Structure 1
Amino acid sequence: MNQVEITSLLLNQAISVFEEWLSMRGMSGETMRGYLVDINQFNRWMTSKSNSPVLVDAITVRHVEEFVSYLANERGCKPRTVNRKINALSTFFQCMKKKRILSENPLEDFERVKVPDSERIYLNREEVEAIIQAIDHPVLHYFAMTMAYTGLRVNECINLTLHDVNLEDGYIQVINGKGGKNRTVPMSDRLKSQLQTYLKFHRPKTDSLFFFALKKTGTVSDQYVNRILKEACKKAGITKHVTSHILRHSFASYLVKKDTHVAVIQRLLGHASVKTTSVYLHVHPNNLKEAVNQIDF
């Protein structure tokens, strides 16, 4: 009887199970929110398509393929956005399998959408410096600098507390990053010096424990960060569509150009797999020519 009840679980009921499972795994609030937004969108689409509540075990790969087509063709979602939603669904079905609600994860081998190289935006050294210098707001100026010099995710940077930034020994402790993981990121001597200046002269007087704190709110929002970056790009004459995540991309891209080992970049970025880091290993045709010119058998 129990097996029948479990197998016949409705999708909206399964989402509640999924939310609890994510919470038990120590997922950050922002990561959980992202997963749930994507899963609930799929639930609304399936319910509308079926004109009735949907059973989890009735969902097929074909349904997901049609959902992907809907996202790309009707909603105009970019490949990266589509892939994020596929990843959320795959994690959802992984949970269903672990909870024995489903016997298999139907998306285990589901192919992701190819991301065109043109969609990956990176900034060179001069562009990063120009953007940082164009940010007049003192807190956001050092916030952007920290992202660019450490590769932290925007929410990791937002959630830094005064205790997480060790200016004496020169490292940042990321607590409960993506996937609920902690990691230590060393600071360059330049960033260490700049953040000492920030604390001494520019951080507003506030009771907030957040390292980057506005006097009014005691924290910083990702929307505000992206707005300031957009204004800075306009001021610096940079036409690329720059978001906070592009600073992280540029950090990784710059390390690749400096021949930093991919495993080191993986650790700094907090990626669970080198496969995730490999998207930054883009190769310019000039690099290929330089490589073959080194051969002297």
Structure 2
Amino acid sequence: MKTSPQASVQSSLLIHQAIPEFQDWLSRRGLSSETVRRYHMDIRQFSNWLAMNSNGPVLIDEITTKRLEGFVDYLSKERNCLPRSVNRKINVVSVFFQCMVKKKYLLENPAEDVERMKVPDIERTFLSKDEVERIIGAIDHPVIHYFTMTMAYTGIRVNECINLTKDDVDFDANCVRVINGKGGKNRVVPMNLKLKEQLQIYLAEHRPQTDSLFFFALKKTGTVSAQYINRTLKLACEKTGIEKHVTSHFLRHSFASYLVQKDTHVAVIQRLLGHASLKTTSVYLHVRQEDMQDAVNRIDF
């Protein structure tokens, strides 16, 4: 088992002194402000846990693999975090130490040898075509109605949809441009012709008079929030009698699942969703019981 070496090129830092340097390093790597914010929350949680368990400030070169394993136990046993959440936090801590190594405060990353928790394979729930149509139809607020329609027809993330500007929705090129999406990446998503027609109606008849540059804008705030979207989706489900716990991510997930049912090549779905690897996209490849029945019915020895 490795421990952080006591020798370092520069004088060691207290972890709370290192956090601002870590944030600056993340920002200069081109990560979005939201990603930097989430990384900061996770590393701050780790720092607070260390201080609580050490009765005082901790130098970064005093943090060993064993102490990190104690943090894993704390998250999983005391905070009851799910394995996926624990792994995400440990990955953030590992990136933090990677930064400290690059800045010559440490020679090694003590998080490298921390075992990640096994994540059970849980097939995700998705909405059927009928359920998507019923939910969108039940949303009376015009801005949110067209917002959810855009998510359902493009599969973009809720924050990507929130950040769309009027220039990003290109009716001439029939596409939606996602700028600085997850991981700071850009991508172009083709626009369904039905969606194009509906969004033109939205601009002409329903978008409030506002100076906001955002494509989806409320008159009062000039934007929309993910919380408001999720609250509206919950009310739409209650109105239509859909008992699933639907959030905005369900629209993205259902977009992918519907394309799978239409026999769309997984590489195309990967590009549309903006996934870095096919492994991430594979969680959407549902195998339904009726599909398996149909498959075995084709056997004719």
Which segment is superposed worse, 77-86 or 171-180? Answer: 77-86
Deviation at 1:220, TM superposition (A): 0.7
Contact persistence 1:7–1:57 (CA under 8 A): no
Deviation at 1:159, TM superposition (A): 0.6
1:184 aligns with 2:166: no
What letter matches 1:14 in structure 2? A
* Residue 197 (structure 2) aligns with: 193
Deviation at 1:161, TM superposition (A): 0.4
* Residue 4 (structure 2) aligns with: none
Percent identity (aligned): 65
Deviation at 1:293, TM superposition (A): 5.2
What letter matches 2:88 in structure 1? R
* Residue 117 (structure 1) aligns with: 122
1:247–1:67: structure 2 CA closer, same or farther, 3 Å change rule?
farther
Q: Distance in 2 between matches of 1:58 and 1:111?
A: 21
Q: Which runs of 5+ in 1 are unaligned?
A: none
What letter matches 2:224 in structure 1? V
SS of the residue corresponding to residue 68 of structure 1 reads helix
* Residue 99 (structure 1) aligns with: 103
Contact persistence 2:160–2:178 (CA under 8 A): yes
What letter matches 2:226 in structure 1? D
Q: Deviations over 1:5-30 (max 9, x none)?
A: 63622222222121111101111111
Normalized per residue, the structure richer in helix is 1
Q: Deviations over 1:239-288 (max 9, x none)?
A: 22211122212222222222222221221111222222222234334444
Q: Deviations over 1:221-241 (max 9, x none)?
A: 111111111111111212222
Which segment is superposed worse, 68-77 or 221-230? Answer: 68-77
Q: Deviations over 1:58-82 (max 9, x none)?
A: 3333333332332233223334433
User: Following superposition of structure 1 onto structure 2, how do residues 128-277 of structure 1 map, counting pairs within 5 Å?
Assistant: 128-277=132-281
Which segment is superposed worse, 54-63 or 213-222? Answer: 54-63
* Residue 48 (structure 1) aligns with: 52
Deviation at 1:295, TM superposition (A): 6.0
SS of the residue corresponding to residue 117 of structure 1 reads coil
Q: Which runs of 4+ in 1 moved over 6 A?
A: none
Aligned length: 294
* Residue 41 (structure 2) aligns with: 37
Which segment is superposed worse, 143-152 or 281-290? Answer: 281-290
Q: Distance in 2 between matches of 1:283 and 1:178?
A: 28
What letter matches 2:223 in structure 1? T
Q: Which runs of 5+ in 2 are unaligned?
A: 1-6
Q: Deviations over 1:70-122 (max 9, x none)?
A: 2233223334433332332233233333334333434446424414516x332
Contact persistence 1:148–1:250 (CA under 8 A): yes
What letter matches 2:283 in structure 1? V
* Residue 59 (structure 1) aligns with: 63
Contact persistence 1:139–1:202 (CA under 8 A): yes
SS of the residue corresponding to residue 189 of structure 2 reads strand
Contact persistence 2:8–2:105 (CA under 8 A): no
What letter matches 2:53 in structure 1? K
1:198–1:42: structure 2 CA closer, same or farther, 3 Å change rule?
same
Q: Distance in 2 between matches of 1:285 and 1:104?
A: 49
Q: Deviations over 1:114-133 (max 9, x none)?
A: 14516x33222122111111
SS of the residue corresponding to residue 10 of structure 2 reads helix
1:82–1:258: structure 2 CA closer, same or farther, 3 Å change rule?
farther
Determine which of 120, 127, 131 is the counterpart of 1:127.
Answer: 131
* Residue 89 (structure 2) aligns with: 85
> Normalising by the residue count of structure 2, what TM-score does the alignment of the two structures yield?
0.88
> Normalising by the residue count of structure 1, what TM-score does the alignment of the two structures yield?
0.89
Which segment is superposed worse, 221-230 or 247-256? Answer: 247-256
Q: Distance in 1 between matches of 2:153 and 2:83?
A: 28
Q: Distance in 2 between matches of 1:194 and 1:172?
A: 14
SS of the residue corresponding to residue 185 of structure 1 reads strand
Q: Deviations over 1:169-193 (max 9, x none)?
A: 2101111111111110111111111
Which segment is superposed worse, 254-263 or 284-293? Answer: 284-293
1:4–1:97: structure 2 CA closer, same or farther, 3 Å change rule?
closer
Q: Distance in 2 between matches of 1:91 and 1:253?
A: 32
1:82–1:127: structure 2 CA closer, same or farther, 3 Å change rule?
farther
